[in-house]
Each structure stands twice: as C-alpha cells, then as structure tokens.
Amino acid sequence: MESLKGKIVFITGVSSGIGKSCAYAFAAKGANVIISARRLEIVEKVAQDIRAKFGVKVFALKLDVRSREEIDKAVFSLSDEWKAIDILINNAGLAKGMNKFYEDDADNWDEMIDTNVKGLLFVTKAILPGMIERKFGHIINIGSIAGHEAYPKGAVYCATKHAVDAITRSLRMDTIDKNILVSTIDAGLVETNFSNIRFGDAEKAKNVYKGLTPLTGDDVADAVVFCASRPAHVNIAEITLLAARQASATISYRE
C-alpha cells in the first residue's frame, strides 16, 4: 500500500456527503487537503475540524465548479505550498428533479450538466497540466451506477454520469504516457443530502432508502482511499459499490 502521508489532495464538493467523507478519510491517512465547495463558511468549518482532529494542513477554498473563471483563478493562485496537487477527487455533483423527460424543467438540466460534466472537465483541465509537468497524478472521478444504466425519469442525470464514465476512459488513454492514473468510483444508493436535493422533499428523499441499509458517504470514501493508495504499478480503473440489498440502479430488495 502506498502511503498518503503528505500527499496533496484536492477535493470538490466537500460541504456534505461523499466529498466531506473523503476530506476526513484522506486527512486521517495524513494527507494535506485542499477542500472546496460553493459556501466558504461551511468549508472553513470542515477545515477547522479536520485540522483539530488530524493535525494535517487544510486549505479551504470557495469554489463553484460551474464557473470556469473561478476555477482557473483558484487553481492558478495556489501558493507553492499547495500547487503540487497529487490527487484530484472530482466529487462535486448533483441530481436535480426526477421527472419524465417531457415534464422536466430544462433549468435542472443546465445545473446538472454544468456541475457534473462541465465542472469536472474544467477542474481537471486546470489541475492536470501541473500533474503532467510533475510526472505524477491521480484523478479520481465520482461517477455513479447511473453511469452504467439509464432509468426512467433520469435521462439527464444518467447522461451526466455516462459522460463521467466516458471522460474517465478517454482521459486514461490520453494520459497513459504521462504517469497519470485515472479512476472512477461509482456508487448506488448512498444516503446523503443527494435525494433531498434531487426531490426538494424530505419525505420523498427518505423513501429512496426505505427498507434497506444504504451506503454512507464514508463507505464510498473508503473505496476512494483504497483506490488512491495502491502500489505504484496498480491502477484501479473503476469500483462499483452497491448497497448489499441493491442489485442494480432500479432493483433493490426492501424489507
């Protein structure tokens, strides 16, 4: 197992869920983390807590991945201490609405495509050249089971996660001679704020996980840490994690 101690890890979308769990999981392994999300006050709170708990260095960054300008500014103004990013975790993403295609609100599509696809692209585009220059880097994308399957009322969310899968595969090919690893971690039912944001309704959100034990953000972060800490000759191309009672995106056994 490769040590993560002292590595610089850049994580997007750390205000809750999988991103927040990743920030803690990497800090617990001694990594120094650049944590980012749209609301700086939340990121700063997480940063303070991580510093106090693990004694690692933490840089709190306000970042809306939908803004190419904000990304470029943030990455290019990183100090020498933080510039040499070893691992990028492209986590920021969301589902907004769950409706039949012809009844859905196109604003939801903009938000999902801008965050899940364009956000991931532009953050990667800003960070990858430094990795290539340093001849080392690992890009870990947070995909989804929705990137393997399409399901009813999920056309655009599924499309964005299929895009993450395609980008991951192409990027692995494009960087194969640069000592860059590219991986995707694809989870099924993870109970976070995800369904609250998707439905905007706490009751509906709760029903998604009813009758089974869903994954937690920490379960997914475990897989991300595993992926990032293999020996140098190993690349985990993809990990798919499902809840124990989940067979596919649409088939689960509930008691």
188 binds ligand 8X3 (CB under 6 A): yes
Give the contacts of 144 (CB within 8 A, at least 6 positions apart).
Answer: 161, 164, 186, 187, 188
Q: How far is the CB of 186 from ligand 8X3 (least distance, A)?
A: 8
Q: Which of 7, 20, 24, 157 is catalytic?
A: 157
**Any catalytic annotation for residue 102?**
no
- Indicate the residue among 77 and 213 with the shorter CB distance to ligand 8X3: 213
- Indicate the residue among 46 and 145 with the shorter CB distance to ligand 8X3: 145
Q: How far is the CB of 254 from ligand 8X3 (least distance, A)?
A: 14
Q: Which of 20, 161, 206, 209 is catalytic?
A: 161
Binding map of ligand 8X3 across residues 139-168, x = CB under 6 A, - = no contact: -----xxx----------------------
Q: How far is the CB of 230 from ligand 8X3 (least distance, A)?
A: 24
Q: How far apart are CA 26 and CA 34, in angstroms?
A: 11
- Indicate the residue among 24 and 199 with the shorter CB distance to ligand 8X3: 199
For the packed helices 17-28 and 217-228, what is the interaxial angle rounded to 10 degrees? 50
**Any catalytic annotation for residue 157?**
yes
Residue nearest to ligand 8X3 (CB): 144
Q: How many residues does the chain have?
A: 255
214 binds ligand 8X3 (CB under 6 A): no
Q: Which of 247, 249, 244, 248 is nearest to 213 (CA)?
A: 244
Give the containing element (helix H, strand E) for 25: helix 17-28
DSSP 192-245: SSHHHHHHS-HHHHHHTTTTS--B-HHHHHHHHHHHHTS-TT----EEEE--TT
Q: How far apart are CA 215 and CA 242, in angstroms?
A: 7
116 binds ligand 8X3 (CB under 6 A): no
192 binds ligand 8X3 (CB under 6 A): no
Binding-site ranges for ligand 8X3 (CB under 6 A)? 144-146, 188, 249
Q: Catalytic positions, please?
A: 157, 161
